[in-house]
Amino acid sequence: MRRRTLLVAIPAMLAGAGAAITAMWPDAAPPAPTGPQPALPVLIANLATADRIEIKYGERLLWLERRGQVWGMPQQGGYPARPDRVAALIDGLLGLTLVAPATGAPESLGVADESSKSGSGTLVRVLAVSGAVLAAMIVQGDSASEPPIVRRPNDPQAWVANRRVVVPTNLSGWIDPHLPLPDGLADPALRDGLAQLVFTAVRASPLVHPAPERSIQLTLADGTAVLALGTADGQDWLQISGTARWALRLAPYAFAIPPNSLPPGPT
């Protein structure tokens, strides 16, 4: 009878020992998931605290910072990023699911570390106001083949994902290069000229060259606006000032424009 009791007790003792070993090694790798799982649960739970998005591709690094409800680009004087592009990136990350482990080396799958010479992966990080990392994921470039593959930084295992996360890695992918048009501009030629004007960079005003080489005065329904052109380091810069709401909104920025692209108008 005693022998039977011992035989029954041994499995329980072994189970207890296994639990004790697990407790002694809290950093042991968690068991592999048996099915699809959210890729970024911390971001899902803490999205309201997200304050900064970093994008690193090779040597290129750009980032966005949130001010209230607007995401801007500090490298471009804080100029607002396109809301649709920001929303698409955040929605893509929130809905990202790890479907199954991917077979192959990260380099061959297009998700090598962004600093790797052989890698074409793009590292996306979302940070909270506190600086805590809410999300970090290496994703494939836009031209990568199906299925979409992702990988956590420093994790040798890549994963097949349920969707491709599109991450622009240059300025033109985040900023609309056209000036927003002012309301109440009566001159159709000037309006068409402003609609075709394309800027290549933005920075905080004022212009490096303080004396404008050319200016255009606009009379709008709610005030005035002045378009001033100046040159610095061989580059034409456009700055806007005035009392109209449109002018006040754009006054903090200077826009790099191609030579001779400012539309004709009254001076």
Whether 103 maps to a domain, the answer reads yes
pLDDT confidence of residue 115: 66
Are residues 154 and 46 located together in one domain of the fold?
A: yes
pLDDT, averaged in runs of 10, over the chain (267 residues): 40 39 35 74 96 91 93 92 95 96 88 70 94 95 78 92 90 90 86 91 75 85 91 88 94 92 75
The count of structural domains within the chain is 2
Q: What angle do CA 117, 121, 125 make, to 5 degrees?
A: 120
Are residues 117 and 238 located together in one domain of the fold?
A: no
Residue 136: domain span: 37-173
pLDDT confidence of residue 36: 85
**3 state DSSP class of 90:** helix
Model confidence, pTM: 0.78
Are residues 53 and 146 located together in one domain of the fold?
A: yes
- Give how far the C-alpha of residue 160 lies from the chain's centroid of Cα atoms, to the nearest Å: 22
Alpha-carbon distance 97 to 212, whole Å? 53
Are residues 150 and 225 located together in one domain of the fold?
A: no
- Which of 122, 148, 173 is the last residue before a domain boundary? 173
Whether 20 maps to a domain, the answer reads no
Where b means 16+ CB within 10 Å and e means fewer, 194-213 reads beebebebbbebebebeebe
Are residues 144 and 195 located together in one domain of the fold?
A: no
